[in-house]
Amino acid sequence: MHGPSLRYEDLAAILVSTSEGVPLLKVEHEEHPSDKDDGSMFEYAETVLPSVFAAAAEQAGKLKFGSVSAITCFFDSTALIHINHLPLVITLIAAQGASLGALFDLADDLKALLLPLKKVVESTDAN
66-111 pLDDT, tens digit each: 888 998 989 899 999 999 999 999 999 999 889 999 999 999 999 9
DSSP codes, 107-118: HHHHHHHTHHHH
Q: Rounded to whole angstroms, how far apart are CA atoms 68 and 57?
A: 6
Q: How large a percentage of the chain has pLDDT more than 90?
A: 43
pLDDT class for 39, splitting at 50, 70, 90? very low
CA distances for 32 relative to 15, 21, 46, 63, angstroms: 14, 22, 15, 37
Domain ranges of the chain: 2-126
CA distances for 82 relative to 19, 40, 73, 107, 124, angstroms: 11, 19, 8, 9, 22
Q: Rounded to whole angstroms, how far apart are CA atoms 61 and 2?
A: 33
The topology (CATH level 3) of 2-126 is Beta-Lactamase (3.30.450)
